Amino acid sequence: MASRRSPPDAPRPAKSVVAARSARPIPDPRKPPAVPLRMTLTAEARRAMIAEHAYLRAERRGFAPGQEAEDWLAAEAEVDALLKLSHGGSPQ
C-alpha cells in the first residue's frame, strides 16, 4: 500500500492543542512551587499565625498557667523571623 505524500509547497497543518500542551514543561513535584517575591500579609493573618504558635508552645508545656505572655512573645519572635526569611531577609 502506497503512502500519501503532500507536495513540498503544501502548507503544514497546525499543531494540535494536545501537542501544544505537551510541549510545556512539567513541574517537578519535588521542588516547591514558585512564590512571588513579595506577598502581602494582613495584620489579622500575622496575628492568627502568632496565636497558633503560642497555642502550640502552651500545648508543649502542658498548658501550665502563668506563662501566656512569654508564649505569645516567643511565638511573635518566631513568626516574625519566619516571615523575614520568607521575604529574603537574613535571620538575626
Query: Three-state DSSP class for 55?
Result: helix
pLDDT value of position 12: 66
pLDDT value of position 35: 60
Domain spans of the chain, in order of start: 40-92
Mean pLDDT by 10 residues, the chain (92 residues): 65 59 72 65 94 96 95 96 77 50
How many of the other CB atoms lie within 10 Å of CB of 55? 14
pLDDT value of position 70: 96
pLDDT value of position 65: 94
